[in-house]
Amino acid sequence: MNGEITFSIIKPDAFGSGNTGPILAMIHEAGFEIVALKLLRMTREQAKSFYAIHKDRPFYNDLVEFMISGPVIVMILRQENAVDKFRKLIGATDPAKAEPGTVRKRFASSVQMNAVHGSDSDENALRESNFFFSEAERCL
């Protein structure tokens, strides 16, 4: 599956603002197939572990608090060259720098509350997918 999947989160800001539907529509229109999806509220331990790569960054604690502030949608998406295509669809981490028509340009309000997460490599797509989904929970 390397190269064909990416992992995404619709973050608490976007879920709480009722933007899940429009974001899922953009994902569908961009040609992605949803192969796994859950609505959940992350525990503090889950959020700390998921973002452990950023643990030395000044924004880490605020990021963890934000990610547990409300429900999120976690999902695995499939398409050829999924990681790159999804990162183009969502736009830059900072919405002020995101291209017009991207998910973050439309729905993000700050670099932290940036509506969606998307894996940054095939390796992380697999790691992040495995973090939230068992093999049996994927319709691959």
Residues near ligand CMP (CB under 6 A): 54, 59, 63, 93, 111-112, 114, 117
- Rounded Cα–Cα distance for residues 74 and 53 (Å): 19
Residues constituting the chain: 140
Lateral strand order in the sheet of 33-40: 33-40, 72-78, 5-10, 116-118
Name which of 36 and 63 has its Cβ closer to ligand CMP: 63
81 CB contacts (<8 Å, ≥6 apart)? 3
Name which of 81 and 109 has its Cβ closer to ligand CMP: 109
Q: Pick the catalytic residue from 11, 48, 78, 117.
A: 117
Instruction: In angstroms, give the least distance from the CB of 136 to ligand CMP.
Output: 26
Is 28 one of the annotated active-site residues of the chain? no
Name which of 114 and 129 has its Cβ closer to ligand CMP: 114
**Residues identified as active-site:** 117
